[in-house]
Amino acid sequence: MGQRHAQQQTLEAPRTVAMGVSPHPREQIADRPRKIVHSMKICFVVDKFPSLSETFVLDQIEGCLERGMQVGVICNETSFGKDSNIDDRRWQALPGKVVCWWGGLGRFRPMLRRWSGRFWDKLSTAIDIAFARKLQNADVIVAHFGNNGMRVARAMKRGRISAPLVTIFHGRDVGEPLHDNTLTRYKVVFDKGVLQLPVNAFFRDALIGVGAPPAQVMVHHMGVRPGEIGYHWRSWDRDTLSFISVCRLTEKKGIEFALRALASLPRRDWVYSVIGGGELLEELKKLAANLGIADRVTFLGPRPHAEVKQRLRNAHVFLLPSVAARDGDLEGIPVALMEAMA
């Protein structure tokens, strides 16, 4: 009987996590009344935490907390005290705590990461395995992005972790290896994980095409909270036309093409707000200046999620002209797009 119950918990855990965000409005975690429906301990494995560019992770964690689960986070680095747009206290209060996978060695990770190829692969895997005990107490491990799923799976292969592994594939983690014909790198994830959750059908087919068991792969879209956004009809009365984009400023987001398209508009009164940061920020600012539209384009940088949703409500048009990047990076289903549609 006990063995049967343990097997059932193992099988049910991924489906419980896959429920995504709660339909209830967001509240302060510390003040939220909780109905304890499950004592499951879930460990999320991410790169940086908390991250404004990955609000889908924060929303998913809140959904689990609202269902009475115990949540902890393993990451490469924390952003506590580094980003004024994030409420640190909310995320420092997680019952399972937020810890760096490599502990004190984590500060050397960016330097070590400069080495590429087999040396970095072997070194990072060895350090991952050495610190894998931090994941031992979890009932379920949820890895966001394939690279983190692969790290956990390799530690599982060495017998350091036994909890079920669920890996969520978002975009770059499928697009780049698909472009380079290296998608088979995830074989260890397929072998050791119990569930692969790509965010769209194209990624699902790609994973199955390189050996993921079809029964193990399920499309799972990241959730949004439509109740917090609210539909608001915004008519245009020939006054200033307001455009907005919300994204990381990377090649695949196509903001270059949005700027060029707006520059080609007839003499019409418009403004364009771009929310988000990234490696192309300065290049895009220069492009706006060269196109003669710098006075009508505002790069706002990363903004709090509540402010983003308010600006979406106030805009007339949402722009996201996504493209396939030269390195193969692809969109999954952008959460900002789903929120704009809501």
Q: What is the CATH number of the domain that holds 198?
A: 3.40.50.11930
User: 278: closest CA among 251, 307, 306, 245?
Assistant: 251
Residues 70 and 169 in one domain: yes
Buried b (16+ CB within 10 A) or exposed e, 319-339: bbebeebeebbbbbebbbbbb
Which residues, in sequence order, are bridge partners of residue 301?
275, 276
Q: Which residue has the tokens 């990076």?
A: 329
Which residues does the chain have with pLDDT short of 70? 1-38, 84-85, 87-88
> What is the spatial distance between Cα 269 and Cα 272, in angstroms, rounded to a whole number?
11
Q: How far apart are the first and last CA of the chain?
A: 46
Q: 176: helix, coil or strand? A: helix
Q: What is the pLDDT of residue 153?
A: 96
Q: What is the pLDDT of residue 5?
A: 39
Dump pLDDT digits (tens) for 266-282.
778 999 999 999 999 99
Are residues 294 and 259 in contact, defined by beta-carbon separation less than 8 angstroms?
Answer: no
Residues 279 and 195 in one domain: no
230 Rama sector, left if φ>0, alpha if ψ -120 to 50, beta otherwise: left
Residues 194 and 80 in one domain: yes
Residue 221 lies in a domain: no
What domain count does the chain have? 2
Q: What is the pLDDT of residue 88?
A: 65
Q: What is the pLDDT of residue 23?
A: 39
Burial of 230 (0-12, 13-18, 19+ CB in 10 A): exposed
Residue 61 lies in a domain: yes
Helix (H) or strand (E) holding 300: strand 297-301
Query: How far is the CA of 313 from the CAs of 298, 309, 310, 339, in angstroms?
Result: 17, 6, 5, 10
Residues 113 and 235 in one domain: no
Last residue in a domain, options 194, 216, 238: 216
> What is the spatial distance between Cα 341 and Cα 312, in angstroms, rounded to a whole number?
10
Which residues, in sequence order, are bridge partners of residue 297?
272
Residue 167 lies in a domain: yes
> What is the spatial distance between Cα 317 and Cα 244, in angstroms, rounded to a whole number?
6
Residues 165 and 297 in one domain: no
Rg of the chain (C-alpha set): 21
Residues 202 and 270 in one domain: no
Phi, psi (5° rounding) for residue 104? -65, -25
Phi, psi (5° rounding) for residue 21? -85, 160
Q: What's the DSSP call for residue 93?
A: T
Residues 288 and 211 in one domain: no
Residues 203 and 125 in one domain: yes
CATH classification at residue 301: 3.40.50.2000
Task: Please give, one letter per residue, the 3-state secondary structure of 113-166.
Answer: CCCCCHHHHHHHHHHHHHCHHHHCCCCEEEEECHHHHHHHHHHHHCCCCCCCEE
Residues 183 and 152 in one domain: yes
Domain with 53 in it? 2-216
Query: How far is the CA of 281 from the CAs of 18, 123, 294, in angstroms?
Result: 34, 33, 13
Residues 98 and 233 in one domain: no
Residue 113 lies in a domain: yes
Residues 200 and 249 in one domain: no
